[in-house]
Amino acid sequence: MTVELFDEEGKTPLIYVEVEATVKGNEETHLFYGHFDKQPHGEGWREGLGATKPVIIDEMLYGRGGADDGYSIFLMMTAIKII
């Protein structure tokens, strides 16, 4: 496994992890993406919506938190181990 940190001024840092295949003949590539940062709630939400107020409109869930828990890198490492 190789790990690189890209940290440019004015941009959110990026952690890049590459894991070589361990099974002979397996040439599949899997790309995972997740963010590890914590963003402030910010402004400009549509009327009745907010970052911490989940709302269902036309069977769609609006809000933040379901995938914004900061654990994406651990989930990806677990998924790689299972694959």
Q: What size, in residues, is the chain?
A: 83
Structure tokens at 47: 């009327």
The answer to whether 64 and 51 are in contact (CB under 8 A) is: yes
- Tens of pLDDT, residue by residue over 36-79, are 666 666 677 778 777 777 888 899 887 765 556 677 778 888 88
pLDDT of residue 10: 86
Distance between CA atoms of residues 38 and 13, nearest Å:
12
| Model pTM score | 0.51
**pLDDT at residue 7, as a whole number:** 92
Residue 6: pLDDT band with limits 50, 70, 90: very high
